[in-house]
Protein backbone atom coordinates (compact mmCIF):
# COMPACT_ATOMS: atom_id res chain seq x y z
CA UNK A 1 0.00 0.00 0.00
CA UNK A 2 1.36 3.43 -0.91
CA UNK A 3 0.62 7.03 -0.07
CA UNK A 4 2.17 10.39 -0.84
CA UNK A 5 4.14 12.57 1.58
CA UNK A 6 2.17 15.75 2.33
CA UNK A 7 5.40 17.70 2.71
CA UNK A 8 7.64 16.68 -0.19
CA UNK A 9 5.41 14.50 -2.38
CA UNK A 10 7.62 11.41 -2.15
CA UNK A 11 6.01 7.98 -2.20
CA UNK A 12 5.65 6.31 1.23
CA UNK A 13 5.16 2.56 1.34
CA UNK A 14 2.90 1.34 4.16
CA UNK A 15 2.98 -2.30 5.26
CA UNK A 16 -0.25 -4.27 5.05
CA UNK A 17 -0.39 -4.84 8.80
CA UNK A 18 -0.07 -1.13 9.64
CA UNK A 19 -2.82 0.06 11.96
CA UNK A 20 -4.76 3.29 12.30
CA UNK A 21 -2.87 5.41 14.83
CA UNK A 22 0.56 4.22 13.74
CA UNK A 23 3.20 6.74 12.76
CA UNK A 24 4.87 6.46 9.37
CA UNK A 25 7.91 8.41 8.23
CA UNK A 26 8.64 9.76 4.77
CA UNK A 27 11.85 8.09 3.55
CA UNK A 28 12.85 11.23 1.64
CA UNK A 29 12.22 14.19 3.94
CA UNK A 30 11.76 12.44 7.30
CA UNK A 31 8.36 13.98 8.06
CA UNK A 32 6.16 11.91 10.38
CA UNK A 33 2.51 11.16 9.63
CA UNK A 34 -0.22 9.42 11.58
CA UNK A 35 -2.45 6.92 9.78
CA UNK A 36 -5.99 8.24 10.13
CA UNK A 37 -7.87 5.61 8.15
CA UNK A 38 -7.05 2.58 6.08
CA UNK A 39 -9.40 0.86 3.66
CA UNK A 40 -8.60 -1.70 0.99
CA UNK A 41 -6.53 0.45 -1.39
CA UNK A 42 -6.66 3.86 0.22
CA UNK A 43 -4.86 5.24 3.19
CA UNK A 44 -5.42 8.62 4.80
CA UNK A 45 -2.66 10.33 6.75
CA UNK A 46 -2.21 13.57 8.71
CA UNK A 47 0.91 15.24 10.13
CA UNK A 48 1.87 13.49 13.38
CA UNK A 49 2.04 15.41 16.64
CA UNK A 50 5.56 16.50 17.46
CA UNK A 51 7.20 14.88 20.48
CA UNK A 52 6.11 16.70 23.64
CA UNK A 53 8.06 17.43 26.77
CA UNK A 54 5.79 15.02 28.64
CA UNK A 55 6.04 12.15 26.17
CA UNK A 56 7.39 8.87 27.36
CA UNK A 57 6.51 5.75 29.18
CA UNK B 1 -17.32 -11.70 26.99
CA UNK B 2 -14.82 -9.26 28.43
CA UNK B 3 -14.08 -6.19 26.33
CA UNK B 4 -10.74 -4.47 26.83
CA UNK B 5 -10.34 -0.91 25.64
CA UNK B 6 -6.92 0.49 24.85
CA UNK B 7 -6.72 4.28 24.93
CA UNK B 8 -3.79 5.47 22.84
CA UNK B 9 -2.51 8.56 21.09
CA UNK B 10 0.06 6.75 18.99
CA UNK B 11 0.19 3.09 18.06
CA UNK B 12 3.59 1.69 18.96
CA UNK B 13 4.86 -1.90 19.04
CA UNK B 14 3.30 -2.32 22.49
CA UNK B 15 -0.24 -1.22 21.60
CA UNK B 16 -0.16 -3.37 18.46
CA UNK B 17 1.04 -6.40 20.39
CA UNK B 18 -1.54 -5.92 23.14
CA UNK B 19 -4.33 -5.49 20.60
CA UNK B 20 -3.35 -8.73 18.84
CA UNK B 21 -3.05 -10.57 22.14
CA UNK B 22 -6.58 -9.53 23.14
CA UNK B 23 -7.91 -10.88 19.83
CA UNK B 24 -5.80 -14.04 20.15
CA UNK B 25 -7.35 -14.76 23.54
CA UNK B 26 -10.82 -14.50 22.03
CA UNK B 27 -11.70 -11.32 23.91
CA UNK B 28 -13.31 -8.18 22.54
CA UNK B 29 -11.06 -5.23 21.88
CA UNK B 30 -11.67 -1.55 21.44
CA UNK B 31 -8.90 0.78 20.29
CA UNK B 32 -9.69 4.41 21.05
CA UNK B 33 -7.59 7.41 20.06
CA UNK B 34 -7.54 9.57 23.20
CA UNK B 35 -7.17 12.64 21.01
CA UNK B 36 -10.66 12.02 19.66
CA UNK B 37 -12.41 11.90 23.06
CA UNK B 38 -14.44 14.72 24.57
CA UNK B 39 -16.15 14.92 27.96
CA UNK B 40 -18.25 17.43 29.82
CA UNK B 41 -19.55 17.89 33.33
CA UNK B 42 -22.79 16.12 32.38
CA UNK B 43 -21.03 13.13 30.83
CA UNK B 44 -22.27 9.76 32.01
CA UNK B 45 -20.78 6.31 31.81
CA UNK B 46 -23.45 5.15 29.34
CA UNK B 47 -22.43 7.87 26.85
CA UNK B 48 -19.26 5.91 26.19
CA UNK B 49 -19.23 2.35 24.91
CA UNK B 50 -15.63 1.72 25.78
CA UNK B 51 -15.55 -1.74 27.35
CA UNK B 52 -15.29 -3.48 30.71
CA UNK B 53 -11.83 -2.21 31.53
CA UNK B 54 -9.61 0.47 30.04
CA UNK B 55 -5.89 0.23 29.54
CA UNK B 56 -4.38 3.72 29.50
CA UNK B 57 -1.53 3.79 26.96
CA UNK B 58 -1.21 7.47 26.06
CA UNK B 59 2.36 8.47 25.23
CA UNK B 60 1.59 12.01 26.43
CA UNK B 61 1.61 11.85 30.23
CA UNK B 62 -0.44 15.02 30.67
CA UNK B 63 -3.15 13.97 28.22
CA UNK B 64 -3.25 10.47 29.69
CA UNK B 65 -3.59 11.80 33.20
CA UNK B 66 -6.48 14.13 32.36
CA UNK B 67 -8.33 11.54 30.29
CA UNK B 68 -7.93 9.03 33.11
CA UNK B 69 -9.40 11.57 35.54
CA UNK B 70 -12.45 11.96 33.25
CA UNK B 71 -12.86 8.20 32.80
CA UNK B 72 -12.56 7.46 36.50
CA UNK B 73 -15.06 10.22 37.33
CA UNK B 74 -17.57 8.32 35.18
CA UNK B 75 -16.97 5.22 37.28
CA UNK B 76 -14.90 3.42 34.64
CA UNK B 77 -12.13 1.04 35.63
CA UNK B 78 -8.78 2.30 34.29
CA UNK B 79 -5.36 0.62 34.45
CA UNK B 80 -3.20 2.31 35.57
CA UNK B 81 -5.27 4.46 37.88
CA UNK B 82 -5.07 8.26 37.97
CA UNK B 83 -3.14 8.09 41.21
CA UNK B 84 -0.53 5.67 39.82
CA UNK B 85 -0.20 7.78 36.64
CA UNK B 86 0.22 10.96 38.64
CA UNK B 87 3.02 9.56 40.81
CA UNK B 88 4.89 7.62 38.12
CA UNK B 89 4.70 10.43 35.57
CA UNK B 90 6.64 12.73 37.88
CA UNK B 91 10.09 11.70 39.08
CA UNK B 92 9.92 13.87 42.19
CA UNK B 93 6.64 12.29 43.31
CA UNK B 94 8.07 8.84 42.52
CA UNK B 95 11.16 9.51 44.66
CA UNK B 96 8.98 10.62 47.57
CA UNK B 97 6.75 7.53 47.25
CA UNK B 98 9.80 5.23 47.22
CA UNK B 99 11.27 6.87 50.31
CA UNK B 100 7.94 6.63 52.12
CA UNK B 101 7.92 2.86 51.52
CA UNK B 102 11.61 2.45 52.42
CA UNK B 103 12.46 1.31 48.91
CA UNK B 104 16.20 1.78 48.23
CA UNK B 105 16.61 4.67 45.80
CA UNK B 106 19.42 7.08 44.87
CA UNK B 107 19.83 10.15 47.08
CA UNK B 108 17.98 12.93 45.26
CA UNK B 109 17.69 16.66 45.95
CA UNK B 110 15.05 19.10 44.76
CA UNK B 111 15.09 22.86 44.20
CA UNK B 112 12.44 25.22 42.90
CA UNK B 113 14.32 28.25 41.59
CA UNK B 114 17.59 28.83 39.75
CA UNK B 115 19.11 30.52 42.83
CA UNK B 116 18.30 27.64 45.19
CA UNK B 117 19.38 25.10 42.54
CA UNK B 118 22.78 26.81 42.27
CA UNK B 119 23.20 26.86 46.05
CA UNK B 120 22.08 23.26 46.35
CA UNK B 121 24.41 21.95 43.66
CA UNK B 122 27.38 23.77 45.21
CA UNK B 123 26.71 21.91 48.45
CA UNK B 124 26.59 18.49 46.77
CA UNK B 125 29.42 16.29 45.55
CA UNK B 126 30.01 16.19 41.80
CA UNK B 127 29.43 14.34 39.54
CA UNK B 128 25.65 14.64 39.75
CA UNK B 129 22.86 13.48 37.46
CA UNK B 130 20.05 15.87 36.57
CA UNK B 131 16.73 14.82 35.11
CA UNK B 132 13.52 16.57 34.08
CA UNK B 133 10.72 15.67 36.52
CA UNK B 134 8.39 14.94 33.60
CA UNK B 135 9.53 13.21 30.43
CA UNK B 136 11.16 10.02 29.43
CA UNK B 137 13.40 8.12 27.02
CA UNK B 138 16.50 9.65 28.62
CA UNK B 139 15.77 13.10 27.21
CA UNK B 140 17.22 15.93 29.29
CA UNK B 141 19.18 13.54 31.52
CA UNK B 142 22.73 14.80 31.96
CA UNK B 143 25.75 14.08 34.05
CA UNK B 144 27.04 17.30 35.62
CA UNK B 145 30.72 17.09 36.50
CA UNK B 146 31.45 20.49 38.05
CA UNK B 147 30.09 23.84 39.22
CA UNK B 148 30.47 25.50 35.81
CA UNK B 149 28.46 22.77 34.07
CA UNK B 150 25.82 23.09 36.80
CA UNK B 151 25.49 26.83 36.12
CA UNK B 152 25.14 26.23 32.38
CA UNK B 153 22.47 23.58 32.94
CA UNK B 154 20.54 25.84 35.33
CA UNK B 155 20.76 28.77 32.87
CA UNK B 156 19.51 26.55 30.06
CA UNK B 157 16.47 25.58 32.16
CA UNK B 158 15.60 29.27 32.52
CA UNK B 159 15.23 29.53 28.75
CA UNK B 160 12.54 26.84 28.62
CA UNK B 161 8.98 28.10 28.93
CA UNK B 162 7.62 25.05 30.73
CA UNK B 163 6.84 25.36 34.46
CA UNK B 164 8.46 21.93 34.91
CA UNK B 165 11.81 23.47 33.94
CA UNK B 166 11.74 25.38 37.26
CA UNK B 167 11.65 22.12 39.21
CA UNK B 168 15.24 20.97 39.62
CA UNK B 169 15.74 17.24 40.20
CA UNK B 170 19.33 16.46 41.12
CA UNK B 171 20.52 12.96 41.88
CA UNK B 172 23.75 11.41 43.08
CA UNK B 173 25.59 9.55 40.33
CA UNK B 174 25.57 5.87 41.11
CA UNK B 175 28.76 3.87 40.70
CA UNK B 176 27.22 1.10 38.64
CA UNK B 177 28.03 -1.19 35.73
CA UNK B 178 27.07 0.39 32.34
CA UNK B 179 23.63 -1.16 32.50
CA UNK B 180 20.41 -1.03 34.48
CA UNK B 181 17.59 -3.49 35.05
CA UNK B 182 14.01 -3.13 33.82
CA UNK B 183 11.49 -5.31 35.68
CA UNK B 184 8.01 -5.45 34.25
CA UNK B 185 5.45 -5.87 37.00
CA UNK B 186 1.90 -6.95 36.32
CA UNK B 187 -0.25 -6.88 39.44
CA UNK B 188 1.82 -8.63 42.07
CA UNK B 189 4.08 -10.57 39.69
CA UNK B 190 7.29 -9.78 37.89
CA UNK B 191 6.76 -11.00 34.33
CA UNK B 192 10.14 -9.97 32.93
CA UNK B 193 13.53 -8.84 34.10
CA UNK B 194 16.00 -7.51 31.54
CA UNK B 195 19.36 -5.84 31.60
CA UNK B 196 19.55 -2.68 29.50
CA UNK B 197 23.08 -2.00 28.35
CA UNK B 198 24.10 1.50 27.34
CA UNK B 199 24.99 1.92 23.67
CA UNK B 200 28.65 2.50 22.78
CA UNK B 201 29.91 5.94 23.90
CA UNK B 202 26.64 6.48 25.78
CA UNK B 203 25.99 6.23 29.52
CA UNK B 204 22.18 6.31 29.40
CA UNK B 205 20.69 2.83 29.11
CA UNK B 206 17.26 3.66 27.64
CA UNK B 207 16.38 1.50 24.64
CA UNK B 208 15.19 4.74 22.98
CA UNK B 209 18.79 5.96 23.26
CA UNK B 210 20.16 2.84 21.58
CA UNK B 211 20.46 0.64 24.70
CA UNK B 212 20.47 -3.13 24.13
CA UNK B 213 18.61 -5.70 26.21
CA UNK B 214 19.59 -9.07 27.63
CA UNK B 215 17.72 -11.39 29.99
CA UNK B 216 18.11 -10.04 33.53
CA UNK B 217 18.36 -11.46 37.03
CA UNK B 218 15.46 -12.77 39.11
CA UNK B 219 16.65 -13.27 42.68
CA UNK B 220 14.78 -12.84 45.94
CA UNK B 221 16.36 -9.45 46.77
CA UNK B 222 15.42 -8.05 43.37
CA UNK B 223 11.90 -9.44 43.63
CA UNK B 224 11.35 -7.99 47.08
CA UNK B 225 12.57 -4.50 46.15
CA UNK B 226 10.72 -4.46 42.83
CA UNK B 227 7.38 -5.53 44.28
CA UNK B 228 7.74 -3.09 47.16
CA UNK B 229 8.40 -0.31 44.64
CA UNK B 230 5.27 -1.29 42.72
CA UNK B 231 3.27 -1.18 45.95
CA UNK B 232 4.76 2.24 46.80
CA UNK B 233 3.19 3.81 43.72
CA UNK B 234 -0.10 1.91 43.92
CA UNK B 235 0.46 -1.24 41.80
CA UNK B 236 -0.78 -1.97 38.28
CA UNK B 237 1.16 -2.57 35.06
CA UNK B 238 4.54 -1.01 35.64
CA UNK B 239 8.14 -0.87 34.48
CA UNK B 240 10.45 -0.66 37.48
CA UNK B 241 13.99 0.51 36.62
CA UNK B 242 16.81 -0.39 38.98
CA UNK B 243 20.54 0.28 39.13
CA UNK B 244 23.14 -1.93 40.79
CA UNK B 245 25.14 0.16 43.25
CA UNK B 246 28.45 -1.51 43.98
CA UNK B 247 27.97 -1.10 47.76
CA UNK B 248 24.24 -0.72 48.40
CA UNK B 249 22.91 -3.23 45.89
CA UNK B 250 19.70 -2.58 43.95
CA UNK B 251 18.35 0.98 43.85
CA UNK B 252 15.05 1.86 42.16
CA UNK B 253 15.45 5.03 40.13
CA UNK B 254 12.35 5.21 37.95
CA UNK B 255 8.89 3.69 37.58
CA UNK B 256 7.11 3.77 34.21
CA UNK B 257 3.33 3.72 34.09
CA UNK B 258 2.84 3.15 30.35
CA UNK B 259 5.73 0.73 30.17
CA UNK B 260 7.37 0.02 26.84
CA UNK B 261 8.44 -3.60 26.46
CA UNK B 262 9.72 -4.02 22.93
CA UNK B 263 13.31 -4.48 24.12
CA UNK B 264 12.23 -6.80 26.93
CA UNK B 265 10.09 -8.94 24.63
CA UNK B 266 13.12 -9.67 22.44
CA UNK B 267 14.93 -11.44 25.27
CA UNK B 268 12.26 -12.54 27.77
CA UNK B 269 10.88 -16.07 27.62
CA UNK B 270 7.60 -14.89 29.14
CA UNK B 271 4.55 -13.70 27.30
CA UNK B 272 4.61 -10.10 28.56
CA UNK B 273 1.58 -8.84 26.63
CA UNK B 274 -0.37 -12.02 27.46
CA UNK B 275 0.26 -11.49 31.19
CA UNK B 276 -0.99 -7.92 30.89
CA UNK B 277 -4.19 -9.00 29.15
CA UNK B 278 -4.80 -11.75 31.75
CA UNK B 279 -4.35 -9.17 34.50
CA UNK B 280 -6.85 -6.81 32.88
CA UNK B 281 -9.40 -9.63 32.67
CA UNK B 282 -8.86 -10.49 36.36
CA UNK B 283 -9.17 -6.81 37.34
CA UNK B 284 -12.50 -6.33 35.62
CA UNK B 285 -13.90 -9.41 37.35
CA UNK B 286 -13.14 -7.94 40.79
Inter-chain residue contact B256 with A57, CB threshold 8 Å: yes
- Residue B258, number of CB atoms within 10 A of its CB: 26
**Angstrom distances, CA of residue B16 to CA of A18, B50, B184:** 9, 18, 18
Span(s) in chain B for CATH 3.30.1490.20: 108-172
The architecture in CATH of the region B175-270 reads 2-Layer Sandwich (3.30)
Q: How confident is the model at residue B248 (pLDDT cuts 50, 70, 90)?
A: very high
Q: For residues B97-118, give the mean pLDDT.
A: 98
Q: With beta carbons under 8 A apart, name residues in chain A contacting B239.
A: 57
DSSP output for B149-215: HHHHHHHHHHH---GGGGSEEEEEPP---SEEEEEEEETTEEEEEEEEEPPTT-----GGGT-EEEE
What confidence tens digit (pLDDT) does each residue in B130-156 have?
Answer: 999 998 888 899 999 999 999 999 999
- pLDDT value for A53: 83
Span(s) in chain B for CATH 3.40.50.20: 3-87
- pLDDT value for B277: 98
Distance between B101 CA and the closest CA of chain A, angstroms: 23
Mutate to test the interface with B, among A18, A19, A21 (most CBs of B within 10 A): A21
- pLDDT value for B243: 97
Does B31 contact A at CB distance below 8 Å? yes
Of the candidates B15, B33, B59, the beta carbon closest to that of A55 is on B59
- pLDDT value for B206: 77
Question: Does residue B168 carry a pLDDT above 90?
Answer: yes
CATH number (3.30.460.80, 2.130.10.10, 2.20.28.160, 3.90.79.10) of A2-47 reads: 2.20.28.160
Does A20 contact B at CB distance below 8 Å? yes
Q: Give residues with Cβ within 8 angstroms of B17, minimum separation 6.
A: B265, B273
Question: Does residue B24 carry a pLDDT above 90?
Answer: yes
- Looking at domain B3-87, its CATH class is alpha beta
- For B94-141, strand residue ranges (E) read 108-111, 128-131
Q: Which of A35-49, B12-26, B85-99 has the lowest mean pLDDT?
A: A35-49
What confidence tens digit (pLDDT) does each residue in B190-208 have?
Answer: 999 999 998 877 777 777 7
Contact between B120 and B97 (Cβ < 8 Å): no
Q: With beta carbons under 8 A apart, name residues in chain B contacting A48.
A: 10
Inter-chain residue contact B135 with A56, CB threshold 8 Å: yes
Question: Does residue B281 carry a pLDDT above 80?
Answer: yes
- pLDDT value for B285: 77
- pLDDT value for B250: 98
Give dist(CA B137, CA B160) in Å, integer: 19
What confidence tens digit (pLDDT) does each residue in B220-232 have?
Answer: 999 999 999 999 9
Cβ burial, residue B263 (10 Å; 0-12/13-18/19+): buried
Question: Does residue B45 carry a pLDDT above 80?
Answer: yes
Mutate to test the interface with A, among B61, B183, B209, B264 (most CBs of A within 10 A): B61
- pLDDT value for B64: 97
Inter-chain residue contact B136 with A56, CB threshold 8 Å: yes
- pLDDT value for B135: 87
Q: pTM of the full predicted structure?
A: 0.93
**Angstrom distances, CA of residue B117 to CA of A4, B106, B188:** 49, 18, 38
- pLDDT value for A57: 82
DSSP output for B242-283: EEEETTTEEEEEEEESS---HHHHHH-SS-HHHHHHHHHHHH
Q: With beta carbons under 8 A apart, name residues in chain A contacting B31.
A: 19-21
Task: Give kind and range of the element (H or E) at residue B60.
Answer: none
Average pLDDT of the residues of chain B: 95
- pLDDT value for B274: 98
- pLDDT value for B280: 98
- pLDDT value for A50: 84
Question: Does residue B62 carry a pLDDT above 80?
Answer: yes
Using CB atoms and an 8 Å cut-off, which of residues 39-98 of chain B contact chain A? 59-62, 89
Nearest to B39 by CA among B10, B9, B59, B69: B69
pLDDT by position in tens, chain A (length 57)? 899 999 999 999 999 889 999 999 999 999 999 999 998 888 999 999 888 888 888
Q: What residues does each domain of chain A span?
A: 2-47
Q: Which fold has domain B108-172?
A: Dna Ligase; domain 1 (3.30.1490)
Q: What is the ipTM of this complex?
A: 0.81
Give dist(CA B198, CA B212) in Å, integer: 7
Contact between B65 and B80 (Cβ < 8 Å): no
Amino acid sequence: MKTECKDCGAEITVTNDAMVGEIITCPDCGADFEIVSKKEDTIEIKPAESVGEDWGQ
Amino acid sequence: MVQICIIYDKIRFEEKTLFRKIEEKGLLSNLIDGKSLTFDTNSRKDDFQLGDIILQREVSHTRGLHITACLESLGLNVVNTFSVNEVCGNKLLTSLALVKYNVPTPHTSFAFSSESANRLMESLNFPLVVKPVVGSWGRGVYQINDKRAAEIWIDSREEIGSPFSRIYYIQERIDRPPRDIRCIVVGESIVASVYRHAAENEWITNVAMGGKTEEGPMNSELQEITLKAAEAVGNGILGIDLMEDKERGYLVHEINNTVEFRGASLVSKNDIAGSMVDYLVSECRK
